[in-house]
Amino acid sequence: MSEVVKKFMYLNRKAPYGTIYAWESLEVVLIGAAFDQEVSLMFMDDGVFQLTKGQDTTGIGMKNFSPTYRTLGDYEVKSIYVDADSLVARGLTQDDLVQVAWEDWESGEEKENIVEVVDAARVKEIMEESDVIFSF
Amino acid sequence: MSILHTINKSPFERNSLDSCLRFATAGASVLLIEDGVYAVLKGASAEAQVKGALGNLNVYVLGPDLKARGFSEERVIEGVKVVDYAGFVDLAAESDKVQAWL
């Protein structure tokens, strides 16, 4: 589509369900997939709670949108980063988070899980490398 | 007499839990709902604060909100009681008034 490929980063800092931010971010990511850019997602602060496994919203009468995260590899999302310090502060480890598989349908390259826990230094680098940052 | 305090904000993002615990009097009940439920997770940075509160307050968490966010009861700090919506109603009915820490 467009000739210039930019690095898009979606920065997620809010917990799901309590506010609409997490869902809105996910919707924009899915829509943005049509623009053929290099997309990464960053989860920090309460945003790490968006990726927890086993979410079951039947008791609160809200849509459970967490299964959608597992399909992001099919929507041009190449990398998903999680801030390590945010996990630790919340008593979480990577085992608490969903896995997201990725496959390049042109080259056939596959990755079992693109969710990567990164330290603060790496978060800074990723932000610096991004051309556009969408904040939620 | 007794007040039911509800907290619906994450302790990592807002100071609702801090303020509630500062002003709740001994014997009062504190119910964590919505994003407030993250306060009762074992191993999280709010753990010491919640454990301290258990000394003189009754602390409850709304089960459906916990489940929605992917956490089972095993992840909840010992001493915090998990209640359902009917339990929420009972707490409200038993208390003289409700103070919502938004």
pLDDT classification of B28: cutoffs 50, 70, 90: very high
Q: Which percentage of chain B shows pLDDT scores above 70?
A: 99
Question: pLDDT (tens digit, 9 = 90+) per residue, B53-65?
Answer: 999 999 999 999 9
Quote the pLDDT of residue B83.
Answer: 98
Does the beta-carbon distance from A91 to B44 stay under 8 Å? yes
- Cβ(A9)–Cβ(A40) under 8 Å? yes
Q: How far is CA A1 from CA A34, A72, A107, A108, in A?
A: 9, 20, 19, 21
pLDDT at position B6 over 70 = yes
Comparing alpha-carbon positions, the chain B residue that sits nearest to A98 is B70
Quote the pLDDT of residue A76.
Answer: 84
- Cα A99 to chain centroid, rounded: 11
Q: Which residues of B touch A55 (CB under 8 A)?
A: 68-70
Q: Which residues of B touch A58 (CB under 8 A)?
A: 67
pLDDT at position A4 over 90 = no
pLDDT at position A1 over 90 = no
Minimal Cα–Cα distance from B22 to chain A, Å?
22
Question: pLDDT (tens digit, 9 = 90+) per residue, A42-63?
Answer: 999 999 999 999 999 999 999 9
Best of A20, A57, A94 to mutate (most B CBs within 10 Å, chain B): A57
Q: What is the ipTM of this complex?
A: 0.92
Q: Which has more confidence, A12 or A31?
A: A12
Average pLDDT over residues A17-24: 97
Across chain B, mean pLDDT equals 97
Q: Which residues of B touch A14 (CB under 8 A)?
A: 13
- Round to whole Å and give the CA distance between A30 and A47: 18
Pick from B34, B65, B70: which is nearest to A53 by CB?
B70
Comparing alpha-carbon positions, the chain A residue that sits nearest to B43 is A91
- Round to whole Å and give the CA distance between A100 and A50: 13
Q: Which percentage of chain A shows pLDDT scores above 90?
A: 83
Q: Which residues of B touch A49 (CB under 8 A)?
A: 38, 69-70
Quote the pLDDT of residue A105.
Answer: 80
What's the DSSP call for residue A88? H
CA dihedral A21, A61, B43, A123 (to 10 degrees): -20
pLDDT at position B1 over 70 = no
3-state secondary structure string, chain A? CCCCCCEEEEEECCCCCCCCHHHHHHHHHHHHHHHCCEEEEEECHHHHHHHECCCCCHHHCCCCCHHHHHHHHHHCEEEEEEEHHHHHHECCCHHHECCCCEECCCCCCEECCCEEEECHHHHHHHHHHCCEEEEC
Phi-psi region of A120 (alpha: psi -120 to 50; beta: other; left: phi over 0): alpha
Comparing alpha-carbon positions, the chain A residue that sits nearest to B33 is A18
Does the beta-carbon distance from A62 to B68 stay under 8 Å? yes
Quote the pLDDT of residue A36.
Answer: 87
Average pLDDT over residues A60-80: 94
Quote the pLDDT of residue A88.
Answer: 98
| Domains of chain A, each with CATH number or no CATH | 7-135 (3.40.1260.10)
Q: Which has more confidence, A109 or B71?
A: B71
Comparing alpha-carbon positions, the chain B residue that sits nearest to A87 is B44
- Round to whole Å and give the CA distance between B91 and B89: 5
Question: pLDDT (tens digit, 9 = 90+) per residue, A86-135?
Answer: 999 999 999 999 999 998 888 889 999 999 999 999 999 999 999 999 99
Quote the pLDDT of residue A66.
Answer: 97
What burial class does residue B77 get, using C-beta atoms within 10 Å of its C-beta: 0-12 exposed, 13-18 middle, 19+ buried?
A: buried
Does the beta-carbon distance from B44 to A96 stay under 8 Å? no
| Domains of chain B, each with CATH number or no CATH | 3-101 (3.40.1260.10)
Quote the pLDDT of residue A35.
Answer: 87
